[in-house]
Amino acid sequence: MKNRLIYLILTCTTCLIFSSKAFAQCSGNEPVVFLGNDTILCQGQSLNLTAPNGYDVYSWSTGATNTGINVNSAGTYSVETILFSGNDNLVVNGNFEAGNTGFTSSYDFVANPDPQALWDPSTYAVGQSPNDFHSNFSFCIDKTTGTGMMYIANGASSPNTIIWTQTIAVDPNTNYNFSAWASSVENTSDPAVLQFFVNGTQIGNVFSPSTTGCTWGEFFNLWNSGTSTSAVISIVNQNTEPSGNDFALDDISFVPYCTNTDAIQVTYETISVDAGQDLSFCSDFPESLSASSNVANATFLWNTNETTNTIVPTLSTNYSVTATSTNGCSASDNVNVQIKQSLDAEFSSSSTAVLVPFTTNFENSSSQNATYSWYINDSLMLTTVNYADFIHTFTSAGDYSIKLLVSSINGCSDSMNLTITANDVEFLETANVFTPDADGINDFYQFNMENIKTLSLTIFNRWGQEIKQISTISENWDGTDVKGDNVSPGIYFYTFQATSATENELKGQGFIHLIR
């Protein structure tokens, strides 16, 4: 025997993973294969997975063949361990060292080496090199020793042709591994298409050797004997192309084994945290930092020891935050904060109501060195870099909005507004007859006023008794007394005091003729 199953397993291309932990011929005394519970890892972490010693073959889903692997990416990782129940290959002459014996084939056998011996399809030979039997074949060596024998074929041009077959005795309810090594005997774009059959039933998928000549590849499938006591094992070629469909076989084996498998799911939690954009703000308009994470229910810890996701920075410095998931994974981010000194705009005027023409001084009492811009009704009147007062002459009546805008090179600013009322006339007059008869005409006694801001009016009857008091400029007399009762028609007297918008004091008296 030239090689064992262990070589075959290591480079398999069609592996069968069983759902059960062990097969029938395992005794139960084999080492327990357990990779652990499904695991969540944090980014940057790795995990060592180890299968127990005591098995002949270890086949990991990653392709590794040793007892353990180190994983650093998410996925499902599995291991299949194989323990041979015997070291005997049940295939007779599977390495072809005995020549053309122990098997049968639907191909025609060619015994003697000759450059044209395998010129026809459906022919085969057993020899040391394909080139010995076909001048276009490559100088290939056998799989194991480099000097041994191999099965060499010019592929058939009809499908389902049996390349190689042998009948062997098997034990019922036993697992077997059917394997072979195959190689194209020349560079080709159309290699052989091979299949394994046991007792006339295909096992596994079709397989093809490499398109590069003299490159050995291993193929195997697993089979359970069930109630069978014998097995007709066969290799069949399905390629019907007459050119390129040429191959070699070596080291065919059929071996019983015990296998155990286990799998583990490794998940990586990718946590991230965003502390937000860098901030720059004026101290009188504070802003907040808000951290967010892609993981729900994450906890936050700032370098200020605050544990809320939102904080209000109070210093110009770098702020960092760490988010931690419920699985213990964490990520950090930082943000820079610049807090700029705020400004205070402040000015005053000796009066807010003037009688035009009038010149007034607006005194700048702001506290910082900055640029000062004075506006009247949003029109820029003066810009200065010192504390200069603003002097202005009002020549037209109206309401004027005076604004001082204070701004600095750091981007902070503040403003103050003051309204000045400029008047060109102040008067207060009234009629002396009114008719409170609810006809909608002259029903109220009131003053006609301009630029009057306060008014106090007292009404007396002819005997000097006070019957009504009016204390605001929006009130009028409807001909009732303090109780709300209508007074009698006749002559009534009044006194008044008023203050104008420019603080002038006005006083007077008169009479009122009430007609009903």
Lowest mean pLDDT among 25-34, 160-169, 250-259, 411-420: 25-34
Lowest mean pLDDT among 203-217, 333-347, 359-373, 484-498: 359-373
Please tell me the predicted confidence (pLDDT) of residue 25. 64
pLDDT above 70 as % of the chain: 94
Give the pLDDT score at 86.
55
Q: Which two tokens stand for residue 185?
A: 């005997």
pLDDT in tens, 292-312: 999 999 999 999 999 999 999
Least confident of 235-249, 253-267, 389-403: 235-249
6-10, 428-432, 440-444: segment of lowest average pLDDT:
6-10
Q: Which amino acid is at 471?
A: S
Rounded CA gap, 194 and 207, in Å?
A: 5
Q: How confident is the model at residue 71 (pLDDT cuts 50, 70, 90)?
A: very high
Give the alpha-carbon dihedral of 348, 350, 355, 357, to 10 degrees.
Answer: -80
More confident residue, 514 or 355: 514
Of 140 and 421, the one with more pLDDT: 140
Q: Which amino acid is at 357?
A: P
Give which of 388, 459, 453, 393 is closest to 426, Cα–Cα: 453
Between CA 493 and CA 505 the distance in angstroms is: 21
Distance between CA atoms of residues 76 and 74, nearest Å: 7
Give the mean model confidence (pLDDT) for residues 247-253.
95
Mean pLDDT for the stretch of residues 67-87: 88
3-state helix, strand, coil in the chain (%, to 5): 0, 45, 50
Residue with tokens 């700048």: 364
In this model, does residue 485 exceed pLDDT 70? yes
Tokens read off for 424? 């060109």
- Inter-CA distances, 177 with 6, 83, 92, 108, 233, Å: 11, 12, 15, 28, 11
Give 297's strand partners.
none
Which tokens in the block code for residue 229? 């006591």
Average pLDDT, stretch 326-340? Answer: 95
Euclidean distance between CA atoms 332 and 323, whole angstroms: 6
**Exposure letters 356-372 (e unless 16+ CB within 10 A, then b):** eebebebebebeeebeb
Q: Which residue in this structure is represented by tokens 């009147």?
A: 381
pLDDT band, residue 85 (cuts 50/70/90):
low
* Amino acid 9: pLDDT: 33
> To 10 degrees, the CA torsion angle through 390, 396, 402, 408?
-50
pLDDT given at position 5: 33
Contact 338, 280 (CB under 8 A): yes
Position 87 confidence tier, pLDDT thresholds 50, 70, 90: low
Residue 355: per-residue pLDDT: 75
Percent of the chain with pLDDT over 90: 67
What number is the average pLDDT over the span 165-178?
A: 92
CA distance readout (Å), 366 to 345, 369, 408, 444, 449: 5, 8, 12, 50, 38
Task: Quote the mean pLDDT of the chain.
Answer: 89
pLDDT of 187 over the 80 cut: yes
Collapse the DSSP code of 237 into the 3-class scheme (helix H, G, I; strand E, B; otherwise coil) and give the result: strand
What pairs with residue 399 in β-bridges? Answer: 421
Q: Is the pLDDT of residue 502 over 90?
A: no
Output the pTM of the full model.
0.45
Sign of CA dihedral 321, 324, 328, 330: negative
